[in-house]
């Protein structure tokens, strides 16, 4: 029995080490390339450690010192704007819809309740061609709002799903009591529903933000001018250029990765709570 | 009632303007049956379908099964396992573009980190990952699993923490542990959740563009494309938008049944995400 315990413990430690290497290797690779001081063709053969680490490429990115990075901060702002708007609109639209569907006994609820999942029957990437033509006819081509619309469309279904599940934890009697006291649906929504749903809203908001930050295809197809581009598209631009300043590209990628990671870890406590509640009905 | 409708209107507008309309428009653009005849006759399309089946079949199932097992691992109360969790979820927090660009560079051949490590540690000359179809396809699958494993592990982890502790204690009293505990407690309680997550992940993965576009880029010679990247290639690089739409719309006969099964499972079995 004792020998078995030791064996299990040893296997756990091994698994932990494997997971550590698995999770960190691609991240390490980014640092390895970004820390190389040389521009242009870099000879990486056999290199597993930066021979001459330097922050030169980060400096170049931050000071916009390379022609592909001329609008870096503006593009960074665009990414931020898209991310924040996606987050806000997803939380707003998702919470309104989940409130109506879960707490107000909408008589035609079936279709609406299933509409979110129907959205996933046709993946976002499959709709990019009709979507881009549609945006042209709505007068939104090369506009950040086109990206926000796409992101919100594909983040809201999941948001409604999670919010409706979380809302089952809040007794419906609370709403009824408030209505007896003369509260309007808007008041119930604002004063009770939103505060009580805070953990789930944080989880859903983070999900939407990460979705926006992960998204690449729509930005690539819909945003054509350099000034309206996002960092995600700017990173991809490196592949199309003849020169190969891969250290700049990786430095850009690392800086681009920082905001979601920070937000993610700050909100992690909420996220766990939002996802956990009512996960299993025994 | 009027209020309820008012609350749903924003979502209904988004749904009809950005889901229903594009789908209808796309189907209308790709309405010509000869497009589909062309596709079926095209060997590139046939290979892409096989790739998509492999990518989704292996990617989703290996990922979900590992996630289920790992969620159990993270339930163990050891300080170093608790400390590992935030590092383990880093791939999920890392945006897709940097992550997959990094994968691409790791596997770029002799200059890549993986081959460099192979030669430094074991003295082996690593393969050229993107010149062999199977290796390139495998790289895409591994990158997909790397990126999304934490998300599903956390979902199962959250579900496991909601299993009442008394059930485990009762099992301990009965002498059930390890595999039997997994088979008789975890699987029955998480079975439905596992099914729902697998279906949802299948839908999401069939539509995955970024992984394949950035990791292998379809190399070698377009042989590792999936439907999403081939559709993009036809529509934008080959300037045949209707053919591009036909490529992706040809997946509807698979997608719609999965979505319907997903809806029914969610409704009839009271599964919670």
Q: Are residue B132 and residue B15 in the same domain, yes or no?
A: no
Q: Are residue B3 and residue B46 in the same domain, yes or no?
A: no
Q: Name the B residues in 112-131 with CB < 8 Å from any A CB.
A: 112-113, 116-117, 119-120
- For residue A182, the model assigns a pLDDT of 82
Q: Least CB-CB distance to B159: which of A46, A210, A280?
A: A280
Q: Are residue B75 and residue B105 in the same domain, yes or no?
A: yes
Please provide the average confidence, as pLDDT, over all residues in chain B: 87
- Please determine, for residue A281, whether its predicted confidence score (pLDDT) is greater than 50: no
Interface test with B, best of A122, A168, A240, A263 (most B CBs within 10 A): A122
Q: Are residue B185 and residue B120 in the same domain, yes or no?
A: yes
Task: Output the DSSP codes for chain A.
Answer: -HHHHHHHHHHHHHHHHHHHHHHHHHHHHHHHHHT----SS---TT--S-SS--SHHHHHHHTT-SGGGTTHHHHHHHHHHHHHHHHHHHHHHHHHHHHHHHHS--TTHHHHHHHHHHHTTS-GGGGHHHHHHHHHHTT-TT-HHHHHHHHHHHHHHHHHHHHHHHHTTS-HHHHHHHHHTT--HHHIIIIIIHHHTHHHHHHHHHHHHHHHHH--HHHHHH--SGGG--HHHHHHHHHHSSS--HHHHHHHHHHHHHHHHHHHHHSHHHHHHHHHTTS---
Residue A132 near chain B (CB below 8 Å): no
Residue A15 near chain B (CB below 8 Å): yes
Q: Are residue B118 and residue B149 in the same domain, yes or no?
A: yes
Q: Are residue B162 and residue B118 in the same domain, yes or no?
A: yes
Q: Are residue B41 and residue B73 in the same domain, yes or no?
A: yes
- Please determine, for residue B273, whether its predicted confidence score (pLDDT) is greater than 50: no
- For residue A279, the model assigns a pLDDT of 41
- Please determine, for residue A278, whether its predicted confidence score (pLDDT) is greater than 50: no
Q: Are residue B4 and residue B38 in the same domain, yes or no?
A: no
Residue A237 near chain B (CB below 8 Å): no
Do B10 and A256 count as a contact with CB atoms less than 8 A apart?
no
CATH number of the domain that residue B102 is part of: 1.10.3720.10
User: How far apart are alpha carbons B105 and A219 in whole angstroms?
Assistant: 23
pTM score, two decimals? 0.88
Residue of chain A minimizing CA distance to B125: A46
Lowest mean pLDDT among A118-122, A270-274, B177-181, B235-239: A270-274
Quote the minimal CA–CA distance from A97 to chain B in Å: 5
Q: Are residue B234 and residue B250 in the same domain, yes or no?
A: yes
- Give the rounded percent of residues in chain A with a pLDDT score beyond 70: 88
Residue B85 near chain A (CB below 8 Å): no
Asked if A142 and A228 count as a contact pair (C-beta separation under 8 A), the reply is yes
Residue B209 near chain A (CB below 8 Å): yes
Asked if B161 and B155 count as a contact pair (C-beta separation under 8 A), the reply is no
Contacts of A106 in chain B (CB under 8 A): 1, 4-5, 8
Residues in Cβ contact with A21 at an 8 Å cutoff, skipping those fewer than 6 apart:
none
Confidence of residue A273 (pLDDT cuts 50, 70, 90): low
pLDDT in tens, A66-112: 878 888 899 999 999 999 999 999 999 999 988 888 777 665 556 66
Residue of chain B minimizing CA distance to A187: B3
Q: Name the A residues in 33-92 with CB < 8 Å from any B CB.
A: 33, 43-48, 92
Instruction: Enter the tokens of residue A23.
Output: 């999770």
Q: Could you give the number of structural domains in chain B? A: 2
- For residue A40, the model assigns a pLDDT of 53
Higher pLDDT, B237 or A44: B237
- Domain of B183 in residue numbering reads as 34-271
- For residue A266, the model assigns a pLDDT of 83
Residue A200 near chain B (CB below 8 Å): no
Taking CA atoms, B231 is separated from A132, B106, B209, B215, B248, in Å, by: 14, 27, 10, 17, 6
Instruction: Enter the tokens of residue A262.
Output: 């920070």
Contacts of B66 in chain A (CB under 8 A): none
pLDDT in tens, B8-64: 888 888 888 888 888 899 999 888 888 999 899 999 999 999 999 999 999 999 999
Contacts of A152 in chain B (CB under 8 A): 14, 18
Q: Least CB-CB distance to B4: which of A13, A100, A280?
A: A100
User: How far apart are alpha carbons A134 and B17 in whole angstroms?
Assistant: 9
Q: Which residue has the tokens 């931020």?
A: A80
Q: Are residue B18 and residue B133 in the same domain, yes or no?
A: no
Quote the minimal CA–CA distance from A91 to chain B in Å: 11
- Please determine, for residue A44, whether its predicted confidence score (pLDDT) is greater than 70: no
Q: Are residue B154 and residue B66 in the same domain, yes or no?
A: yes
Q: Least CB-CB distance to B86: which of A25, A210, A265?
A: A265
Do B97 and A149 count as a contact with CB atoms less than 8 A apart?
no
Q: Would you call B154 helix, strand, or coil by DSSP?
A: helix
Confidence of residue A39 (pLDDT cuts 50, 70, 90): low
Residue of chain A minimizing CA distance to B190: A280
Q: Are residue B20 and residue B38 in the same domain, yes or no?
A: no
């Amino acid at each position: 029995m004792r020998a078995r315990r030791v064996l299990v413990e040893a296997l756990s430690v091994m698994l932990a080490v494997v997971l550590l290497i698995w999770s960190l290797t691609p991240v390490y690779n980014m640092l390895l390339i970004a820390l190389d001081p040389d521009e242009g063709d870099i000879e990486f053969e056999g290199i597993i450690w930066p021979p001459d680490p330097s922050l030169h490429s980060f400096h170049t990115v931050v000071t916009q010192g390379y022609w592909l990075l001329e609008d870096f901060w503006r593009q960074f702002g665009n990414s931020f704007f898209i991310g924040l708007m996606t987050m806000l609109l997803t939380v707003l639209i998702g919470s309104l819809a989940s409130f109506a569907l879960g707490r107000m006994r909408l008589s035609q609820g079936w279709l609406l309740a299933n509409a979110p999942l129907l959205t996933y029957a046709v993946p976002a990437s499959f709709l990019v061609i009709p979507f881009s033509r549609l945006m042209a006819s709505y007068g939104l081509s090369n506009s950040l709002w086109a990206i926000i619309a796409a992101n919100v469309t594909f983040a809201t279904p999941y948001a409604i799903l999670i919010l409706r599940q979380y809302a089952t934890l809040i007794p419906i009697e609370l709403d009824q009591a408030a209505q007896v006291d003369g509260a309007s649906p808007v008041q119930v929504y604002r004063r009770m529903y939103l505060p009580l749903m805070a953990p789930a809203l944080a989880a859903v908001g983070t999900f939407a933000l990460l979705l926006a930050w992960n998204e690449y295809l729509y930005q690539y197809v819909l945003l054509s001018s350099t000034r309206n581009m996002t960092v995600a598209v700017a990173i991809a631009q490196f592949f199309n250029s003849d020169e190969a300043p891969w250290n700049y590209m990786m430095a850009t990628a690392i800086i681009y990765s920082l905001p979601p990671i920070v937000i993610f870890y700050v909100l992690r406590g909420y996220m766990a709570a939002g996802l956990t509640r009512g996960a299993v009905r025994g | 009632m009027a209020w309820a409708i008012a609350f749903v209107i924003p979502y209904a507008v988004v749904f009809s303007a950005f889901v229903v309309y594009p789908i209808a428009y796309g189907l209308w653009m790709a309405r010509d049956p000869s497009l589909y005849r062309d596709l079926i006759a095209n060997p590139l399309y046939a290979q892409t379908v096989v790739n998509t089946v492999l990518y989704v079949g292996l990617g989703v199932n290996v990922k979900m099964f590992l996630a289920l097992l790992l969620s159990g691992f993270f339930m163990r109360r050891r300080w170093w396992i608790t400390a590992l969790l935030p590092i383990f979820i880093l791939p999920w927090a890392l945006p897709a573009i940097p992550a997959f660009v990094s994968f691409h560079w790791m596997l770029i051949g002799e200059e890549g980190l993986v081959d460099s490590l192979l030669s430094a540690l074991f003295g082996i000359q690593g393969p050229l990952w993107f010149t062999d179809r199977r290796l390139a396809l495998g790289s895409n699958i591994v990158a997909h699993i790397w990126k999304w494993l934490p998300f599903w592990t956390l979902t199962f982890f959250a579900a496991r923490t909601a299993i009442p502790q008394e059930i485990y204690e009762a099992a301990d009293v009965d002498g059930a542990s390890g595999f039997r505990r997994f088979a008789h407690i975890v699987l029955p309680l998480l079975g439905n959740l596992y099914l729902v997550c697998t279906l949802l992940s299948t839908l999401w993965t069939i539509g995955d563009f970024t992984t394949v576009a950035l990791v292998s880029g379809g190399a070698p010679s377009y042989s590792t494309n999936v439907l999403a990247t081939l559709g993009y290639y036809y529509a934008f690089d080959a300037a045949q938008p209707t053919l591009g739409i036909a490529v992706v719309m040809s997946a509807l006969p698979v997608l719609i049944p999965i979505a319907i099964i997903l809806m029914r499972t969610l409704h009839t079995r009271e599964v919670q995400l």
